[in-house]
Amino acid sequence: MISLYKYPLIDDPDIARNSIQRIVPRQSVVITFNELCCSIIGHVRKEEGISIYIEILERFWEATLQLDKFSHLIILWWITGRDNPGDRANLSDYPPQTAAELSGVFASRSPARPTPIGHSIVAVTHLDEGKHRIYIDQIDAFDSTPIIDIKPYMPSSDKVDDARVPPWFLKNLRRYTK
């Protein structure tokens, strides 16, 4: 079985496929659904004090067609600094809120988790088609963080009225709701 944290994310699928085949010959590979491979579609870019944007790889830019019709997006990104055996083995943690109780990583936003995928809901400020950029208001990812997917935010299905959370999350600041 191939363990993905041993190999860097490669943004070219042909290179990734050939690299894995060289490391592990085809006849000895056991493919399971315990681990998957994903494509990098772009990167976070932060120009200090100037702008924040998602730079989409040219071959994926067509996938942004009609994206300018949405005010907000859900961005899925790879938590690169936490992609290691120790962090992937982490199953519980204390959320960084006051008086938080030990919680499983599926009940927290801990970056140390079995699959280091982060997500952010962002407001779109504008798109630059010529430079393949989606300008956004904020994102809690570092500069050069790989983007693995983008989805439009849909208030009809992505907003939950009266959602229940543990008491230590009640004081979190709201970003886009009243």
Q: What is the pLDDT of residues 11-35, one digit of tens each?
A: 555 555 555 444 444 444 444 445 6
What is the pLDDT at residue 17? Answer: 52
Q: What is the pLDDT of residues 56-105, one digit of tens each?
A: 999 999 999 999 999 999 999 999 889 899 999 999 998 888 888 999 99
Which amino acid does the sequence have at 103? S
pTM: 0.79
Domains of the chain, residue spans? 1-37
Over the range 111-128, which residues count as b (16 or more CB within 10 Å of their CB) and which as e? bbbeebebebbbebeebe
